[in-house]
Chain A
Amino acid sequence: MGILDADNEETSPDSSNLVISKLTCSLVGQAQTIKIMPGTLARQVYGEEETVEEFRCNYGLNCEYRDKISIGELKVAGVDTNGEVRMVELSDHRFFIATLFLPQLCSSSDKPHRLIVAYLKAAMATPPFKRF
């Protein structure tokens, strides 16, 4: 959620606090089915239309701002069954994804999380930084 604040601090500093608002129902300890939007990097990474993910949070995107954040490079990449935004990505970046859920809670050594594997693959392509 820090990403949304960062974008808003640049464009609308007065409303940055309201972009994130308290969820009507806490998501702490909950699992939700997330629908992954077509045409997104997230869809390529997951390779599926839906995923079940776990949450530990009490805050989310204020739905009044949903249309605003969809303008420009920030794209909605995943929503829950009520259409609430649960994942966003930057369309002009090779790998920049933010989630309300915690993919790290659904990972095991037998089944590493697809998002995290794809993330590390992308990191492998970062040109090495020469330290002198």
Chain B
Amino acid sequence: MNRPLRIGIIGDFEPSYPSHIATNEALNHAARALSLTLDPSWLPTLSLFDMPPSDDDSETLLKQFDGLWCAPGSPYKSMEGALKAIRFAREHDRPFVGT
């Protein structure tokens, strides 16, 4: 595979959280081991909450990701937003890790 792998990280990124820095670094370690180019995006939970209700067009934001990852940092700014994205991973066959 040559295209960059798009990973959506569900969470409110905080540079002061070691676990958030570790999330980015660990994904890079694994990508390097697989000789992959990674294209990660942190998905703020409030923006996930603001996504319109389910239909094909509105889920385009999440459909573009090859995998979703739920970052540590609960309680999130929007638990509902986080759960929406987790549900998307479950219902749309996206590999998912929740940490």
Contacts and interface: CB of A to CB of B under 8 A. Distances in A.
Nearest to A98: B98
Contacts of A2: 70, 74, 79, 82-83, 86, 98
A3 B98 contact: yes
Contact of B95 (A99, A107, A122): A122
A82 B96 CA distance: 27
Interface in A18-60: 56-57, 59
B97 A115 contact: yes
Interface residues of A, number: 41
Contacts of A63: none
Contacts of A112: 26, 29-30, 32-33
B77 to A, nearest CB: 13
Contacts of A113: 26, 29-30
Contact of A120 (B3, B30, B72, B94): B30
Interface in B4-18: 5, 7, 18
Secondary structure at the A interface, as helix, strand, loop or mixed, is mixed
B75 to A, nearest CB: 10
26 contacts: A1-B74, A2-B74, A2-B83, A3-B90, A6-B90, A56-B72, A90-B90, A93-B93, A95-B67, A102-B22, A102-B72, A103-B26, A104-B22, A104-B23, A105-B19, A109-B28, A112-B30, A113-B26, A119-B69, A120-B30, A120-B31, A122-B67, A126-B93, A128-B66, A129-B64, A131-B64
A124 interface: yes
Contact of B30 (A98, A116, A128, A131): A116
A73 to B, nearest CB: 9
